[in-house]
């Protein structure tokens, strides 16, 4: 069995695999790796995640998004958690255009890391902590076992909110949007840049805090909040797949878990190639 690591040393065994109760992956990752070395890991992480979501419902979606953004850049290595000032010349992912003032939840990961270090010092990697937190966020929001395509991953937009700057152009300039829905969004997002930029709107207006298939139903009704969302149902090749998830919520859940597992397995670097960071924001 092996932990996953990265160039900056963030061992990760992608315990998100527990979502599907899967066995070891092609990289010989193990869902039971910490059974002996940190037996209270799962309960420790879950307790902090539950508290964070109870304080702010949106936080569950934010943690899942952290996992997505981390894994899409050279695999799930917790590099997204690094601050820019870890070395004099280091510039990380936090301030990259898709992430700056957008990804959030770093303080929750810090709290989880502190709690885990208290019970298992120097044992659990930051990448595994992020993976477990993402898993628990989904399970807490929708407590069921929930493919490989961008369309499936965007289904996570069934929860969470977006800033006005991310959907302003869509609601004011695009034609493939329901007029009433657009007007509702405009009430909290003025057309003038710099005005209300940080105002929030739910990605799924119907059930913004429930993990369900209403995201896809919204797309069929031309009520996708983001331009990239609505493009999934806009007379193209993905229309039929959107319709399949509208027809069967269980199919969406099954496909979603497969995608999460596969994403958690992106280019794992195993063994002793990394380090267990004491602070997820810095290299040891």
Catalytic-role residue among 69, 144, 170, 227: 69
Helix 106-119 to helix 58-71 angle (10° resolution) is 80
Residue that is written with structure tokens 């061992």 in the block: 11
Binding site, annotated residues for Ca(2+): 70, 73, 75, 77, 79, 93, 158, 204, 207, 212
Give exposure, 100-109, as e/b (b: 16+ Cβ within 10 Å).
Answer: eebbbbbebb
Binding site, annotated residues for substrate: 143
User: What distance lies between CA 190 and its chain's CA centroid?
Assistant: 28
> Is the distance from CB of 148 to CB of 70 less than 8 angstroms?
no
Which residues fall within 8 angstroms of residue 5, CB to CB, at 6 or more apart?
Answer: 11, 12, 77, 125, 268, 269, 270, 271, 272, 273, 274, 275
- Tell me, yes or no, if 144 is annotated catalytic: no
Instruction: Tell me which residue of 284, 280, 283, 282 sits closest to 109, measured CA to CA.
Output: 280
Give exposure, 23-57, as e/b (b: 16+ Cβ within 10 Å).
Answer: eebeeebbbebbeeebeebbebbbebbeebbeeeb
Alpha helices (H) along 120-191: 126-141, 150-154, 164-173, 179-186
Instruction: Tell me which residue of 116, 112, 132 sits closest to 37, measured CA to CA.
Output: 116
Which residues are catalytic, by number? 69
């Amino acid at each position: 069995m092996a932990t996953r690591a990265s160039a900056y040393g963030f061992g990760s065994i992608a315990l998100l695999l527990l979502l599907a109760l899967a066995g070891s992956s092609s990289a010989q990752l193990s869902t039971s790796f910490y059974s002996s070395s940190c037996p209270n890991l799962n309960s420790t992480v879950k307790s902090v995640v539950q508290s964070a979501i109870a304080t702010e419902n949106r936080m569950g979606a934010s943690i899942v998004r952290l996992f997505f953004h981390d894994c899409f850049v050279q695999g799930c290595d917790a590099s997204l958690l690094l601050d820019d000032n870890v070395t004099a010349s280091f510039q990380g992912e936090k301030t990259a255009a898709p992430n700056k003032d957008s990804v959030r939840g770093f303080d929750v990961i810090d709290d989880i890391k502190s709690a885990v270090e208290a019970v298992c010092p120097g044992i659990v990697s930051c990448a595994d902590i992020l993976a477990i937190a993402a898993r628990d966020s989904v399970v807490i929001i929708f407590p069921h076992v929930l493919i490989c395509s961008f369309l499936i991953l965007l289904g996570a937009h069934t929860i969470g909110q977006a800033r006005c700057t991310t959907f302003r152009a869509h609601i004011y300039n695009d034609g493939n949007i329901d007029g009433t829905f657009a007007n509702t969004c405009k009430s909290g997002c003025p057309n003038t840049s710099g005005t209300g930029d940080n105002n929030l709107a739910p990605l799924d207006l119907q059930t913004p805090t429930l993990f369900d298939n209403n995201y896809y139903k919204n797309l069929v009704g031309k009520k996708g909040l983001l331009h990239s969302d609505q493009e999934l149902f806009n007379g193209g090749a993905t229309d039929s797949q959107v319709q399949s998830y509208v027809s069967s919520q269980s199919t969406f859940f099954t496909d979603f878990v497969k995608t999460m597992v596969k994403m958690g397995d992106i280019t794992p670097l195993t063994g002793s190639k990394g380090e267990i960071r004491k602070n997820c924001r810095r290299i040891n």
